[in-house]
Amino acid sequence: MKQIAYYPGCTLYTKSKNLDLCARETAQILGVELKELETWNCCGAIYSTVQDDLANQVAPIRNLIEAQKISNKLVTLCAACYNVLKRSNHNLFLPENDIYRRRMMNFLDTEYDGKTETVHYLEVLKNDIGFENLKTKVKTNLDGLKVASYYGCLMLRPSDELNFDDPDNPTMMDDMFAALGAEPVEFPFKGECCGGYVLVDKPDVATRCSQTILESIVDAGADCVATTCPLCQYNIDNQQKLMSKQFNLPVFYFTQLLGLALNVDQKILNLDNHYIDPKPLLKQKGLLK
Amino acid sequence: MKSDKKRIGVFVCHCGINIAGTVNIPEVVKRLKEQADVIEVIDHQYCCSDPGQNLIKETIKEKKLDSVVVACCSPTLHEPTFRKTVSSVGINPYNCEIANIREQCSWVTDDKEKATDKATKIIKTIIKKVEHDEPLTPITIPVTRKALVIGAGVAGIQTALDIATAGYPVILLDKNPSIGGHMSQLSETFPTLDCSQCILTPKMVEAKQHPNITLMTYSEIESISGYLGNFKVKVRQKAKYVDWDKCTGCDVCVDKCPKKTPDEFNHGLTQRKAIYKMFPQAVPNRVVIDAPNCLYLEKGACRLCEKHCPFGAIKFDDQDQITELEVGALVMATGYELLDKQMLGSYGFGKLKNVVDGLQFERILSASGPFMGEVKRPSDGKIPEKVVFVQCAGSRDPENAMAYCSKICCMYTAKQAILYKHRVHHGEPIIFYIDVRTGGKGFEEFYKRATDEGVLYIRGKVSKIFEKGDKVIVWGADTLTGKKIEVEADLVVLSTAMKPAATKEFAQLLKLTQDEYGWFTEAHPKLRPVETLAGGFFLAGACQGPKDIPEAVAQSSGAASKVIGLFTSDTLEHLPVIAGVNEDMCSGCGICIDVCPYKARELVTTEDGKKRTVKVIEVLCEGCGACSAACPVGAAQQKNFKDQQIQDMVKGGLE
Amino acid sequence: MENFEPKIIGFICKWCTSAGADLAGTSRMKYPPNMIPITVFCSSRIDPQYILWAFKNGADGVFMGGCHPNDCHYQDGNYKTMKRIPILKNLLKELGIEPERLRLAWISASEADKFKKTITEFTESIKKLGPLSINDK
């Protein structure tokens, strides 16, 4: 089986176990082993924009170097990890950062040529496995489920560094859901900020951001939301209790719905770990017994 | 080759401090006097000034010079000046050469010592060249006194009328079935609010009726050959499937045609038939069949138009026709297009029905437009109560689209907002802008009028446009108050950037240069704005850069006057710096014939019939020198760029 | 080596590269003054022999500038140059001249910045290569 280096990150080990476990399991079914790095550390969490950020960048770069033991690709799921790992590598190998790179290598006491390409699990599904191929592997067709794919900000921007999908009109997750038989729903806020960054500081602002997104998703007629980012998931799911309007809209990780389509064990899907219980919806759609 | 040595004089210009500020001129003069084989070296503050030129003339006479080197600015600027100066005292102008020590030396370095070295070396290369320069006389060529104007918008029409009125025949060509261009689509024009069609249609008719103007509509350039004064242009007249000699433009066929397709003239806001007239005032007032949409031509059944045409004008077996034209000059008047809305992702990718571009809104405002001048929105025909105008949609936006300012949008947006307000009195026009630029006669007053009439200006860029129910939501920032703004609009008008209509392929076909965005490059940005570097090609209107109507018309008259100037004589002088053949050395191998891009060389047998050699058709030679480089024996020598000269120049530059 | 000032001959075409160089001047861009420009009508005028001649007469580097492909003022002169230069580069190797000492670039009349960058970079690279060794002999 093809092995690709895998970086789960901290949240996927704790709060977002369902994002992590579903990914590992579905990859296995689709013929790819997400091989977790032997040792890993914090991704850096927030991409640093200060002038001298050597200390901040050491963390992500160390993970990228570690990945080389397994493959030239490093798969990650959390949108924040993806953003930080990919941009750190990009930044380190800019021609103007020659001196900075040497300092980094001196500090880490190693050599690294920048060959580790950070990819998102969605990209593995699209490019390594292929959505057409995925279609043939579906056991439970998600027919009749209207899914709003919410990408959030970190996957898409800055687009010239991440090069993930069109920042104004991303379609990768929608295409995946179409392959699973679900109906992707168009709405204008696919890449808008959920407010997660200010959740602690200004919860009212954060709630307003996610409420705007949810409103447009409901207007568009979606049954549920799918996301890639633990922070977005928490913010859109958990914060519904604080909103001025009650939506009662389940918020999935995309890997959960993928797992559902591939008949992954319910224990792994972990559908109890949600504020808005998604089970009634899935039962109503005949996707869950 | 001359046996006696040339008497060369060198004149080094200070150009104020432009050269002297970096180059140590006395030192240059000293070194040249010591090292170069010249009669005299003199420096002057401004060689191009009258006293400077007089100094050159006096020195030539006094020292009996036969060749001159002027070390100054780029030869593109003052080569003609100094060549005229020396010829006034009897020196062949081609024995005067320029050493460029300003643009390519003093302005590009701060190191005075090195600049002095470089200047000396540059001058030495030119001295070496002059040593072997021959006196040359320009070659006389005939001029076909007939012009071709490509593009029949207001710029093309104006150019054609001006040239025709001066008495020279003009062919006015357009790719569309009718002349008129974008101006015929506009509602009213800023800042006077004249009706656009009312002022344009008389000009269109005048162009049609002018005895010196031949219209060639629905036509495209196929190929072009020849040179200044003597072009041969192949034009493809697209099959119209209608005999225009019989058609009267009565529109019976249009009524009967069952096939509908989006109307390009209304930018897709309405449908037209497969047989159609571009717009009611079309000139020529004739119909054409759009073959890909015609049921008969595509699927073999229908022929309703043929059945109902009272004049038997339908001609289903019509074919494209190739016509070869002989003209002396070409004027580009290919104009602009608007940036495709699909380029603007955050403004809805052109997918939102109630987000239109500037030209679409012109059609909505136009009395002959889709709603007969009533302001309605495309999705449901409702009268929009709140209209948001977004300026700089794709202009001044180097990250996503164009870096330049499209120049006309500030004014036309103000105009559209005023016109909207005139039609929908209780309506609320809101304009988002980065800056309002009102540089033009009556423009600032017009902007003031817009604000006085109740148009709300918000300074800030729009970040996102999306649909919510039947409203269009606009997110923007008010940078003056620092607040985020959300507007629930009924209709959004994007002032999308202007971009050139001429494609890269078209420019390459004509061998014209374009800038990075595709605007045609003028010969000089300030002093030769209507000419191109290619002889015989002129520019009119917005094909050169964003322009409003008066500017386009002014430039068109400028281009026309250049063409008229060219046509005042029936002959022209051709640059004599051409490649010749040394018959004694030529082995008749013919390699030079293959490399010549102009077919200026041909293989002949010498008069005594003993040997094959190459003959040069001097008029066709443009002097690229490719043959000189290719000739294996050195028989092909470009005049004043001989092998010996270039090799000596190299030496001069390395001494 | 630190103070080595290379001698560079630049064969540039009148319509594009020389005009681009003029624009660099008009825009007051700064680049090393080592290159001595020789303006010809078209890059296709340059017989490869001249380049060898330049090396023989003491040049440490030779620069060739022409119009972009398809933009040649003389229709296709630059295509001739495009073919000639790689052949000559192969030959240079055999003569013991580093092929990097010959640089061909397409620079249009509007690309002042490219001209500046190319010349700066080329001059630097020749500085790194040092003086042309055949000239020492």
Domain boundary among A88, A120, A152: A120
Provide the pLDDT for residue C136.
57
Q: Inform me whether the C-beta atom of residue A158 falls under 8 Å from chain B C-beta atoms.
A: no
Shared domain check, A97 and A145: no
Decide if A216 and B468 are in contact by the 8 Å CB cutoff. Answer: yes
Shared domain check, A263 and A180: yes
Per-chain mean pLDDT for chain B: 94
Q: What was the ipTM of the complex prediction? A: 0.96
Q: Where are the alpha helices (DSSP H) in C13-56?
A: 17-26, 48-56
A-B C-beta contacts closer than 8 Å: 18
Structural domain of A109: 2-120
Contact residues, chain C, for B107 at CB < 8 Å: 25-26, 28
Class of domain C8-135: alpha beta
Q: What is the pLDDT of residues A278-288, one digit of tens each?
A: 999 999 999 98
pLDDT above 90 coverage of chain C, percent: 83
CA distance B596 to chain C (A): 9
Shared domain check, A65 and A193: no
Q: What is the pLDDT of residues A26-77, one digit of tens each?
A: 999 999 999 999 999 999 888 777 767 777 889 999 999 999 999 999 999 9
DSSP secondary structure letter of residue B185: G
Q: What is the pLDDT of residues C41-55, one digit of tens each?
A: 999 999 999 999 999
Q: Is the pLDDT of residue C2 over 70?
A: no
Per-chain mean pLDDT for chain A: 92
Contact residues, chain B, for C5 at CB < 8 Å: 114
Decide if B629 and C32 are in contact by the 8 Å CB cutoff. Answer: no
| Structural domain contains residue A255 | yes
Q: Inform me whether the C-beta atom of residue B403 falls under 8 Å from chain C C-beta atoms.
A: no
Decide if C40 and B646 are in contact by the 8 Å CB cutoff. Answer: yes
This prediction's pTM: 0.75
What sign has the CA pseudo-torsion B578, B579, B583, B589? Answer: negative
DSSP assignment of B503-557 equals -HHHHHHHT--B-TTSPBPPSBTTTBTTB-SSTTEEE-GGGSS---HHHHHHHHH
Q: Which of A28-42, B38-52, B158-172, C73-87 has the lowest mean pLDDT?
A: C73-87
Residue to mutate among A168, A186, A214, with most B CBs inside 10 A, is A168
Q: Which 553-582 residues of chain B touch chain C by CB within 8 A? A: 577
pLDDT above 70 coverage of chain B, percent: 99
DSSP secondary structure letter of residue C123: H
Kindly give the interhelix angle for A230-237 and A79-92, rounded to the nearest 10 degrees. 150
Side-chain half-sphere of A181: how many Cα atoms within 13 Å? 17
Q: Inform me whether the C-beta atom of residue A205 falls under 8 Å from chain B C-beta atoms.
A: no
Summarize the confidence of residues B529-539 as an average pLDDT.
89
* B134: number of Cβ within 10 Å: 13
Contacts of residue A84, Cβ cutoff 8 Å, sequence gap at least 6: A43, A44, A45, A46, A47, A60
Shared domain check, A209 and A100: no
| Structural domain contains residue A188 | yes
List the subunits that have 3+ CB pairs under 8 angstroms with C.
B
Q: Is the pLDDT of residue C1 over 60?
A: no
Summarize the confidence of residues B91-117 as an average pLDDT.
95
Give how many domains chain A has, as a whole number. 2
Residue to mutate among A169, A185, A186, A218, with most B CBs inside 10 A, is A169
| Structural domain contains residue A128 | no
Decide if C33 and B628 are in contact by the 8 Å CB cutoff. Answer: no
Which of A170, A150, A148, A149 is CA-nearest to residue A159?
A170
Q: Is the pLDDT of residue B229 over 70?
A: yes
Summarize the confidence of residues B158-187 as an average pLDDT.
97
Summarize the confidence of residues C95-124 as an average pLDDT.
94
DSSP secondary structure letter of residue B300: S
Q: Inform me whether the C-beta atom of residue A212 falls under 8 Å from chain B C-beta atoms.
A: no
Provide the pLDDT for residue B1.
40
- The residues pairing with B140 across neighbouring beta strands, listed in sequence order, are B573
Shared domain check, A151 and A57: no
Q: Inform me whether the C-beta atom of residue B230 falls under 8 Å from chain C C-beta atoms.
A: no
Contact residues, chain B, for C74 at CB < 8 Å: 597-598, 622, 624, 626
DSSP secondary structure letter of residue B634: S
Q: With residue B410 as reference, give the H or E element that holds it.
A: helix B409-423
Q: Is C1 exposed, middle or buried (0-12, 13-18, 19+ CB in 10 A)?
A: exposed
| Structural domain contains residue A289 | no
Shared domain check, A147 and A101: no
Per-chain mean pLDDT for chain C: 92
Shared domain check, A188 and A70: no
Option in B76, B626, B650 nearest C80 (CB)? B626
CA distance B114 to chain C (A): 7
Inter-CA distances, A230 with A195, A227, C17, Å: 13, 8, 55
Shared domain check, A151 and A74: no
What sign has the CA pseudo-torsion B368, B370, B372, B377? Answer: negative
Provide the pLDDT for residue B553.
97
With contact defined as beta carbons under 8 Å apart, do C101 and C62 qualify? yes
**With touching defined as 3+ CB pairs under 8 A, do chains A and C touch?**
no
Q: With residue B127 as reference, give the H or E element that holds it.
A: helix B112-131
- Quote the CA–CA distance of A219 and A213 in Å, as a whole number: 10
- Using 50, 70 and 90 to split pLDDT, how confident is the model at B156? very high
Decide if B597 and C47 are in contact by the 8 Å CB cutoff. Answer: no
Long-range interactions of A56-62: CB distance < 8 A, separation 24+? A57/A88, A57/A91, A57/A92, A57/A104, A58/A104, A58/A107, A58/A108, A60/A84, A60/A85, A60/A88, A60/A89, A61/A88, A61/A89, A61/A92, A61/A104, A61/A108, A61/A112, A62/A108
Six token digits for residue B473: 């939501």
Six token digits for residue B539: 């520019």
Q: Is B162 exposed, middle or buried (0-12, 13-18, 19+ CB in 10 A)?
A: buried
Contact residues, chain B, for A166 at CB < 8 Å: 345
Which of A197, A133, A191, A192 is CA-nearest to residue A164?
A191
Provide the pLDDT for residue C137.
47
| Structural domain contains residue A127 | no
- Using 50, 70 and 90 to split pLDDT, how confident is the model at B485? very high
Decide if C109 and B628 are in contact by the 8 Å CB cutoff. Answer: no
Decide if B108 and C73 are in contact by the 8 Å CB cutoff. Answer: no
Decide if B76 and C75 are in contact by the 8 Å CB cutoff. Answer: no
Longest dimension (CA), chain C: 43
- Quote the CA–CA distance of C89 and B318 in Å, as a whole number: 55
| CATH assignment at residue A115 | 1.20.1050.140
Option in B108, B597, B650 nearest C74 (CB)? B597
Contact residues, chain B, for A189 at CB < 8 Å: 466
| CATH assignment at residue A247 | 3.40.50.11810
pLDDT above 90 coverage of chain B, percent: 86
Provide the pLDDT for residue B511.
80
- Quote the CA–CA distance of B225 and B327 in Å, as a whole number: 11
Three-state helix/strand/coil letters over chain A: CEEEEEECCHHHHCCCHHHHHHHHHHHHHCCEEEEECCCCCCCCCCCCCCCCCHHHHHHHHHHHHHHCCCCCEEEECCHHHHHHHHHHHHHHCCHHHHHHHHHHHHHHCCCCCCCCEEEEHHHHHHHHHCHHHHHHHCCCCCCCCEEEEECCCCCCCCHHHHCCCCCCCCCHHHHHHHHCCCEECCCCCCCCCCCHHHCCCCHHHHHHHHHHHHHHHHHCCCCEEEECCHHHHHHHHHHHHHCCCCCCCCEEEHHHHHHHHCCCCHHHHCCCCCCCCCHHHHHHCCCCC
Decide if C36 and B125 are in contact by the 8 Å CB cutoff. Answer: yes
With contact defined as beta carbons under 8 Å apart, do B466 and A188 qualify? yes
Q: What is the pLDDT of residues A80-119, one digit of tens each?
A: 999 999 999 998 998 888 888 999 999 999 999 999 999 9
At residue B629, what is the residue type?
A
Decide if C45 and B118 are in contact by the 8 Å CB cutoff. Answer: no
Shared domain check, A111 and A24: yes
Nearest CA in chain B to C50: B647
- Using 50, 70 and 90 to split pLDDT, how confident is the model at C129? very high
**Going from the N-terminus, what domains does chain B have, and what CATH number goes with each?**
8-131 (3.40.50), 147-238+321-334+501-567 (3.50.50.60), 252-308 (no CATH), 337-499 (3.50.50.60), 579-638 (3.30.70.20)
Decide if B466 and A166 are in contact by the 8 Å CB cutoff. Answer: no
Contact residues, chain B, for A216 at CB < 8 Å: 466, 468
Nearest CA in chain B to C113: B108
